[in-house]
Amino acid sequence: MPSASAIRSQIEAALAQRIPAALTPRPRIIRPVAPTGVVELDAVLDGGLPLGAISELVGPECSGRTSVALSFVAQMTGSGNVCAWVDVCDGLDPESGAAVGVDLKRLLWVRCGTARRPAQPGTEAAFRLPQKYLAPPPIKKGLHGGGFGPHPRTEGKGLSAAIGNFLRPEQLASRCGEPQPRPKLERETIAQVSPEPALKVNERKQAEKPWSRIERALHATDLLLQAGGFAAIVLDMAGLAPAYVSRVPMATWFRYRAAAERTQSAFVLLTQYPCAKSSAELLLRLVNGEPRCDEPTMFTGMKHHVTVERQRFAQAQSNVVSIRKPPRPERGAAWQTQPASTGMR
């Protein structure tokens, strides 16, 4: 009977192509880092965000997560690298990115929150049914029809014209028993509607739903990671509610982590709720920024604070490994930002 080690070697050899080292824990890897451009944050992270891994920036609105991501992209594009920004909610401002030093010529902006428009103007109105085939709008009650009906004086003027048409001589001369000639009605035809405009309308309606935008963003991110060539990829899902972001399967983040490790690209995820879980190597939580008013009547900037909640395989301070697990102190950083209108201070 073969030993346990021999069986283990056979299993790992059979699964080497699909699952490398299936029964062996992954070795501890100290990944290279890239600076974010925020000196206080780089000092806490021992150099910056890791390359070939997922870094998750979590925080509410006005917490500084987009500012950190733009500063990181500015550092990467300034070094001659190409980056990508997958914008789910169409919230990226290119002017703000250029103000912090982002080279827009080296940034691929993927907008997933915009709806497709018809190629030719007036295409949507070409396949609408006439108004007489639609249900009439409900009558609004209130003074003069809720503000939408005609004035009673106008209705009184039209009453005399209606009675005059009813008492015309040809109408009085006709008898009830005689057959009345029926006017010949022309047959109305509705043009055949091609299915292409209807598909465009459905696509525009689907574009308004958050989950459809998330699916397009995930598909675009998957293509960018598999293609390679991008030093940093930012997936901006900060404008979506946590109820939609939490629906992304865990297998998606695991696949992104494997692809980022293979291409050695820094994957940055911006959300309001941590959703990557164990697939993220770095988790930074930001809180609402505090406004700074150094002068009584002038807004001079914001003060941000970040806490490192999870950081795997950080650089050890000493080569001596203790038997007991040391307590993990809370690490954080604070920095200040100022708008361009305040100038140099």
pLDDT under 70 in the chain at which residues? Answer: 1, 17-29, 113-208, 313-323, 325-330, 340-345
Give domain 33-115+196-313+327-342's CATH superfamily: P-loop containing nucleotide triphosphate hydrolases (3.40.50.300)
- Give the pLDDT of residue 235: 95
What is the C-alpha separation between 230 and 263, in angstroms, rounded?
A: 8
- Give the pLDDT of residue 84: 96
Amino acid at 148: F
For residues 28 and 9, the answer to whether their CB atoms sit within 8 Å is: no
DSSP notation for 34-84 = E--S-HHHHHHTTTSEESSSEEEEE--TTSSHHHHHHHHHHHHHHTT--EE
- Give the pLDDT of residue 276: 92
Is the CA virtual torsion 291, 343, 92, 44 positive or negative?
negative
First-to-last C-alpha distance (Å) of the chain: 78
Local structure of 306: helix, strand or coil:
strand
What residue spans define the domains of the chain?
Answer: 33-115+196-313+327-342
- Give the pLDDT of residue 7: 81
- Give the pLDDT of residue 318: 56
- Give the pLDDT of residue 61: 85
Parallel, antiparallel, or unpaired: how do β-strands 301-311 and 282-286 relate?
antiparallel
- Give the pLDDT of residue 118: 47
Which residue shows structure tokens 């917490």?
A: 63
Which residue shows structure tokens 């309001």?
A: 272
- List, in order, residues 6 or more apart from 282 with CB less than 8 Å away: 45, 49, 50, 53, 54, 55, 56, 308, 310, 311, 312
- Give the pLDDT of residue 299: 76
Q: What is the pTM of this model?
A: 0.64
What is the C-alpha separation between 128 and 173, in angstroms, rounded?
A: 43
DSSP state of 178: S
